[in-house]
Structure 1
Amino acid sequence: VGKGFSGVETPLFETMLVVRVVAEEAEAQVPTQGDDVHEHAAEEVATDVVSPTPTSPSPSSPVLDTCSALAHRVKVLENDKVAQQLAIVKLKARVKKLEKLHKAKIYNIDLDYSLKVLSMQEDDTEVQEAVKIVTTAKLMTE
């Protein structure tokens, strides 16, 4: 990309390092005498012919195998995620249903308790009335 703090040129891609090494080798092989201009030009052309593009990996490379394995794993995990979400929805519905049932039971228990309390209070008056009726019936029969 540019020169760093120490003045060293930092390339953008790793393939640029390879080209840089080739260029350095070409500079090292430059003849010291000016008579071999044709050889020097041929060397420069040879360094220019080297393409900085990386070679494409073969179809059976481990990178593609890893990529396909990871893609398959992602699909499996997505299916698991959907299954778990469905299970969560079912469990939430079950919890709501059980909460409604328990609320109804508690409500009925509360109603039964209040009725029992009221009936216990009424029993005293009913018992007193029954006692009056029985005593008047006894008095009438005697």
Structure 2
Amino acid sequence: MIRYALQCDHDHAFEAWFGSSADYDTQFQSGRLECPFCASRQVTKQIMAPAVSTSASAPDTARRDMMLEAAGAIRKKIESDFDYVGDAFAREARAIHEGDSEKRSIYGEATAAEVKALEADGVPCTPLPSALSPRRRDTLN
């Protein structure tokens, strides 16, 4: 992931994350970048210093553990209170959104293409925080 400082032609400054510099280039060339303040599509990168992590700026273990516990609690709440629909998630989310199915909170699995189609159609969805074992916590950055 890479974070860029961006600015529109109306001098609105904002930041955005991209999977790579090539992802930024693709979105820029296709005109998909948009200012969140005024919706201008005349967006350019600004000069910024690289972020270099030092021991003084690296997140401490307690903060990381707190974030992982919070993510785990969110996941546990969803798993206990929402209906699990398995790999029918995209179909069921769309049916709920369109009023063809009972309105309720659901979770399940969806492919990247299905999620992209849901987002394009305005169907609200978001990924669940992953369940991390204590063993994997030690390998996180």
Structure number having the greater strand percentage: 2
Of structures 1 and 2, the one with the larger relative CO (CA 8 A, separation 6+) is 2
**When the two structures are superposed, what TM-score results if normalisation uses the length of structure 2?**
0.19
